């Protein structure tokens, strides 16, 4: 089973972003996780198109763009233009999710849906066959460095069962509070992609931490 690591640049050093992207390029990381926050859907603002364009210029790995914004369907083409390879939208921000997913795929990006901690996995049952990816938030979105919500394990088990029934090729991604103590349980319960911000960028040797997470 696939085991991928996606370091989140939300915790990178924006005073020298090129250095952190280079570290990711030379590490065992598989994707670069890019958190876009609008200050409306979540109580924080991160960064937008110019930064993503810059990251894309330097990146040797796919950009996994996580939209924490209202009306994400308005900006699908723009995110494609600045270099998104995978685009994920929140269920909670997408009343016409099916249409939005088709629009992402029509731009030749992988399409994913994100669930906040309170949203039940069963809400995805009908859309699951259309998805490349489901991202389970294991913290409330908005900030890096928060503690992992334990209920995520139950949600992951439910989603793994649904995946077996409805879409065996689906990738399951976990985002928030991932560290060296929970990575192996998450992989063993069916996670394919682990996002890690604080754990990677606050460590003394980020590339080594990526390798350790991956080998869990
Ligand atoms: C939170 C973001 C996460 C965040 C994860 O809203 O979606 O991607 O960067 O950070 P850590 O790994 O520090 O919890
Ligand atoms: Zn994220």
Which pairing describes strands 110-115 and 133-137: parallel, antiparallel, or unpaired?
parallel
What is the pLDDT of the chain when averaged over all its residues? 98
Per-residue pLDDT for 211 more than 90? yes
Give, as residue ranges, everything with CB less than 5 Å from ion ligand 2: 35, 66, 175
Note if 30 is an active site residue.
no
Position 216 scores a pLDDT of: 86
Whole-number pLDDT of residue 141: 98
Ligand 1 atom nearest 196 alpha carbon? 12
Tell me how far the alpha carbon of residue 114 lies from the centroid of ligand 2, in angstroms: 9
pLDDT tens across 5-32, in order? Answer: 999 999 999 999 999 999 999 999 999 9
Task: Find the catalytic residue in 38, 85, 132, 175.
Answer: 175
* Inter-CA distances, 22 with 16, 61, 170, 206, Å: 10, 10, 29, 11
Tally of residues, the chain: 216
101-141 pLDDT, tens digit per residue, is 999 999 999 999 999 999 999 999 999 999 999 999 999 99
Band (pLDDT 50/70/90 cuts) for residue 167 is: very high
End-to-end CA distance of the chain: 13
Can 35 be counted among the known catalytic residues? yes
Q: For 133-156, how does the pLDDT look when each residue is reduced to its tens digit (9 = 90+)?
A: 999 999 999 999 999 999 999 999
Kindly give the distance from the C-alpha atom of residue 10 to the centroid of ligand 1, in angstroms, as a whole number.
Answer: 7
Rounded Cα–Cα distance for residues 136 and 163 (Å): 13
Residue 53 has what pLDDT? Answer: 98
Q: Which neighbouring-strand residues pair with 156?
A: none
Q: Are 6 and 195 in contact (CB under 8 A)?
A: yes
CATH 3.30.420.250 fits domain 4-214:
no
- Residue nearest to ligand 1 atom 1, measured at CA: 141
Note every long-range contact of 166-171, with CB atoms under 8 Å and residues 24 or more positions apart, other chains counting. Answer: 166/125, 166/128, 166/129, 167/128, 167/129, 167/131, 169/132, 170/128, 170/131, 170/132, 170/133, 170/134, 171/2, 171/4, 171/112, 171/132, 171/133, 171/134
Q: Which pLDDT value is given to residue 44? A: 98
Ligand 1: which residues within 6 Å by Cβ? 8, 10-11, 33, 35, 66, 139, 141-142, 144-146, 175-178, 195-199
Please tell me the predicted confidence (pLDDT) of residue 2.
85
Dihedral angle of Cα 209, 211, 212, 213, to the nearest 10 degrees: 90
Instruction: Flag whether the pTM goes above 0.85.
Output: yes
Residue 19, pLDDT score? 98
Closest atom of ligand 1 to CA, residue 178: 12
Task: Determine the atom of ligand 1 nearest the C-alpha atom of 177.
Answer: 14
Dump pLDDT digits (tens) for 36-82: 999 999 999 999 999 999 999 999 999 999 999 999 999 999 999 99
Distance 214 CA to ligand 1 centre (A): 17
Structure tokens at 198: 């604080």
What confidence score (pLDDT) does residue 201 get? 98
């Amino acid at each position: 089973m696939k085991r991928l690591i996606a370091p989140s640049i939300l915790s990178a050093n924006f005073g020298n972003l090129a250095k952190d992207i280079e570290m990711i390029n030379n590490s065992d990381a598989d994707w670069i996780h890019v958190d876009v926050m609008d200050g409306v859907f979540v109580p924080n603002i991160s960064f937008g198109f110019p930064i993503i364009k810059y990251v894309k210029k330097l990146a040797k790995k796919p950009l996994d763009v996580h939209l924490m914004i209202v009306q994400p369907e308005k900006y699908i083409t723009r995110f494609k233009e600045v270099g998104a390879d995978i685009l994920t939208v929140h269920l909670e921000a997408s009343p016409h999710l099916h249409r939005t997913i088709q629009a992402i795929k029509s731009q030749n990006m992988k399409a994913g849906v994100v669930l906040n901690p309170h949203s039940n996995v069963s809400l995805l049952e009908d859309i699951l066959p259309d998805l490349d990816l489901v991202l389970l938030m294991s913290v409330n979105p908005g900030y890096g460095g928060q503690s992992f919500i334990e209920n995520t394990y139950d949600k992951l088990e439910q989603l793994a069962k649904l995946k077996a029934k409805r879409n065996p090729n689906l990738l399951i991604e976990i985002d928030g509070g991932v560290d060296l103590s929970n990575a192996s349980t998450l992989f063993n319960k069916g996670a394919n992609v682990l996002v890690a911000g604080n754990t990677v960028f606050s460590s003394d040797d980020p590339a080594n931490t990526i390798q350790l997470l991956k080998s869990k």
